[in-house]
Chains A and B, each alone.
Chain A
Amino acid sequence: MSAIKAHPDYSLCGWRFRSEIPIEALPVWDGDSDRPPDIELVRGEVAEIACEGPVNVVVTGPNKATVVSVDAGRFSVFEGREIIADVRPDALPGFVETTILGPVLGTISYQRGMLSLHSNTIVIDGKAIALSGRSGAGKSTLAAILMKRGHRLISDDVLPLYESHGRTFALPGSQNLRLWGEALDLIGESKEGLRRADLVRDKYFLPTIDKTTQPWPLAALIWLERGITERNFLRPCNGVFRARAIYKAFYRQHLAREFAAMGSKEVRDFSLPGVAVFDLLRPRGLDLLEEQARAIERLASTDDLPNIDQPLQVRAAHR
């Protein structure tokens, strides 16, 4: 019996990704047509693993892990290249996709010896700017306003990184931004026609303007904290503060720790050369949203970004 391929291969982080499950958030593979797939996802059975919490990654060795999602199913990941997906029959396709481009991709990255950040990442003037922070810090809303201002999203969740010639490069992952309905209202974006990202929660996929397949130089990591503040500026983080902000931004810190402890030298190195690190306090709602987006644009346009050592003011808008 021959398998019928219903959809093309995708480009995931520059890898050729063959998947039996369609993935809307990825561009179609446009590289060498003779290149064999770098990553392959097939449907199959994955043994049950008892876990607590909605999503878990259980690492059983340097080359084997299982992602267990209460809502999406179980996904075994081998050697950074093979995925067996045991999808729940009632799973929302968007949720399955989010799991594949979230914890499954994160696991693949670590298995391949690549450190990954948890961030919404936007490209401004050819430079990738990673917005990171705990859940509710406002990274998606800020990313959405930057997208609305014409910038491209290259990652919604997992941002695999690699180093080359003393620079850090960001690989594009999920290129749909998951956004709460409330945040869409805040930025004046209609929910009509947007795909649901969740059956229960009021979340939607906001697609990027133009999907990309290439790596982008990572110029800055901005760690967002929720707070009302008089400290209204992008504050450079250096030394231990820089390291601490990067560590906080790791995608699933426990995975990074496990792979580091298993001997992955690449995962242990969080130097991120060429990346400037800042923190920024983000008030709730629309407050300072446009102003902070403009400040990030100004930051991206700075020639000597890695050497900025003075705070960059977020100017109040003229009303």
Chain B
Amino acid sequence: MQPTSTVSLANNHFRANHDGSAIIMSISAGKFFSFDEIGFEIFNAIEKPIRVDELVADLAQKHNTTTDVVMPDVLKFLNKLSENELISVE
């Protein structure tokens, strides 16, 4: 996955929101994932297709930090979602 890739959420999941965090179940992987607030924020932000660098810029601005700090973690997180078929990447 590259910063110029476009990611979007697949329909392939169930989700439960609880106290600001979330449990996501990947239907195809049959696995449950517990997301903290930031993870859930990203999950919601990719409901519609978005470029990774735009997503990172939004997050950096919102959390008052730089894209250099945010990018590695976001890529790692998105790759994990992709491995479990929770997102599509173009």
Chain A positions near chain B (C-beta within 8 angstroms): 239-240, 242-244, 246-247, 256-257, 260-263, 268-272
- With a cutoff of 8 Å between Cβ atoms, the chain A residues found around residue B17 in the complex are 269, 271
Taking the closest CB of chain B, its distance from the CB of A116, in whole angstroms, is: 13
Binds A, one of B8-16, B63-71, B73-81: B8-16
Candidates B11, B12, B16, B34; contact of A270 at CB < 8 Å: B16
Interfacial chain A residues near B13, Cβ < 8 Å: 260, 268
Q: How far is the CB of A267 from chain B (nearest CB, A)?
A: 8
B residues in contact with A239, CB < 8 Å: 18, 23, 34
Query: Cβ of A244 and Cβ of B18 under 8 Å apart?
Result: no
A-B contact pairs, 15 of them (CB 8 A): A242-B18, A243-B16, A246-B16, A257-B27, A260-B12, A260-B13, A260-B14, A260-B27, A261-B12, A261-B27, A268-B14, A269-B17, A270-B14, A271-B17, A272-B16
> Quick check: A242 and B16 within 8 Å, CB to CB?
yes
Which residues of chain B are within 8 angstroms of A270 by Cβ–Cβ distance?
A: 14-16, 25
- Assess the A247–B15 pair: CB atoms within 8 A: no
Q: Are A269 and B32 in contact (CB under 8 A)?
A: no
Q: Which of A240, A242, A247, A263 contacts B14 (CB 8 A)?
A: A247
Distance (whole angstroms) from the CB of B60 to the closest CB of chain A: 29
Chain A residues within an 8 Å CB radius of B25: 243, 247, 270
A271 in contact with B27 given A260-B13, A261-B11 (CB within 8 Å)? no
Find chain B residues with CB under 8 A from A260 CB.
Answer: 11-14, 27
- Do most interface residues of chain A lie in helix, strand or loop, or is the interface mixed? helix
Number of interface residues of B (CB under 8 A): 13
Interface residues of B (CB under 8 A from A): 11-18, 23, 25, 27, 32, 34
Residues of A within 8 Å of B16, CB to CB, are 242-243, 246, 269-272
**Are A271 and B11 in contact, with the CB atoms below 8 A?**
no
Given contacts A240-B34, A272-B16, 18 further A-B contacts (CB under 8 A): A239-B23, A239-B34, A242-B18, A243-B16, A244-B32, A247-B14, A260-B13, A261-B11, A262-B11, A263-B11, A268-B13, A268-B14, A268-B15, A269-B15, A269-B16, A270-B25, A271-B16, A271-B17
- Chain A residue, CB-CB nearest to B13: A268
Q: What's the minimum C-beta distance from B10 to chain A, rounded to whole angstroms?
A: 9
Bound CA–CA A64/B32 (angstroms): 30
Chain B hits for A269, CB < 8 A: 14-17
Question: Which of B13, B14, B18, B25 counts the most chain A CB atoms within 10 A?
Answer: B14
| A292 and B82 alpha carbons, distance in the complex (Å) | 44
Distance of A255 from chain B, by nearest CB (Å)? 12
The docked-state distance in angstroms from the alpha carbon of A256 to that of B27 is 10
Q: Give A260 to B34 CA distance when docked, in angstroms.
A: 19
Residues of chain A lying within 8 A (CB to CB) of residue B11:
260-263, 268
Evaluate contact between B23 and A240: CB separation under 8 angstroms: yes
A257 (CB) vs chain B CBs: closest residue: B27
**Which of B11, B16, B18, B34 has the largest number of chain A CB atoms within 10 A?**
B16
Closest to A250 in B: B14
State A269–B34 Cα separation when bound (angstroms): 15
Q: Nearest Cβ distance between residue B46 and chain A, in whole angstroms?
A: 15
Which among B12, B15, B27, B32 is the interface contact of A240 at CB below 8 angstroms?
B32
A278 to chain B, nearest CB (A): 16
The CA of A262 and the CA of B11, in the complex, are separated in Å by: 7
State how many angstroms separate the Cβ of A243 from the closest Cβ of chain B. Answer: 4
> Which residue from chain A places its CB closest to the CB of B16 in the assembled complex?
A271
On chain B, the residues within 8 Å of A242 by CB distance are 16, 18, 23
A223 to chain B, nearest CB (A): 15
